Amino acid sequence: MMNKKAGARTISKNKTKEFEVLVKDNMKRAYFSALGFLGSHDAAMDVSQEAFIRAYRNFNRFDTKKNFFTWYYKILRNLCINFIRDNKNRKEEFFLEHKKYEDSNNNPEQNLEEKEESEMVHIAINQLETEDREIIILREFEGYNYEEISEILNLPAGTVMSRLFYARKKLAKKMKRLME
């Protein structure tokens, strides 16, 4: 009886420990994926954490031979879509900024231009449909390759390429309109 209890406690403890490692390994990309969908730090934190909680509750169903993030992303994606549906009037923050390079000088005029450019890109991205926005974020900001996106979104690589192309095209159109 004692052994059984001890065994159960070990499994539970191991599960939590194992899960903690998975969370720490994946929290950044989870947060950034949610941020790309929701455009708000607070919402991205809340939804990405909630997705981890749901993943934890269903952890027994997770096939450990498969990629955790791919499995987790499906939960996260559904939660983000529900959040967008339920919070149509939510406020979005500017979540993009220019990359700073070591050799870049601290020119106020340049900084202002960069700020304006990143705000314009942000507005244009926000105007995209969720699917277009998602694929742009995954490829251009999170740096996943086609195979990884194909696995995450469960789409053939050719479809990923095609969707990316059209998403960029729509983004270019929106940006052009904003610049006029």
Partner 1 sequence: MNERFIILLEKHFENELTDSESQEFQSLINSNIGLKQEYQEQKRIKEVLKKMKMKNPSREVWDSYWMGIYNRVERGLAWIVISIGALIFFGYASYETVNAFINDTHTPPLVKFGITLLIFGALILIFSLIREKIFTSKRDKYKEVQR
Q: Of 77 and 136, which CB lies nearer to partner 1 in the complex structure?
A: 136
Phi-psi region of 143 (alpha: psi -120 to 50; beta: other; left: phi over 0): left
**Phi, psi dihedral angles at 156 (to 5 degrees):** -65, 150
Only one of the segments 1-9, 29-37, 65-73, 126-134 lies at the binding site for partner 1 (rule: CB under 8 A); that segment is 29-37
DSSP state of 104: -
Is 61 one of the binding residues for partner 1 (CB under 8 A)? no
Among 20, 92, 116, 131, binds partner 1 (CB under 8 A): 20
Concatenating the DSSP letter of every residue in 128-172 gives: S-HHHHHHHIIIIIS---HHHHHHHHT--HHHHHHHHHHHHHHHH
Distance CA 170, CA 180 (A): 16
Q: Rounded to 5 degrees, what angle do the CA atoms 174, 92, 109 make? A: 65
Q: Tokens for 10?
A: 């070990």
Number of chain residues interacting with partner 1 (CB under 8 A)? 43
Tokens 């993943």 locate to 55
Nearer to partner 1, 62 or 146 (CB): 146
| 121 binds partner 1, rule: CB under 8 A | yes
Residues between 132 and 171 with contacts to partner 1, criterion CB under 8 A = 136, 140-141, 145-146, 158, 161-162, 164-166, 168-169, 171
Binding-site member from 41, 66, 90, 177 for partner 1 (CB under 8 A) = 41
Q: Is 178 in the site for partner 1 (CB under 8 A)?
A: no
Residues at the site binding partner 1, with contacts judged by CB under 8 A: 20, 23-24, 27-28, 31-32, 35-36, 41, 45, 49-50, 52-53, 56, 88, 94-99, 114, 117-118, 121, 136, 140-141, 145-146, 158, 161-162, 164-166, 168-169, 171-172, 175
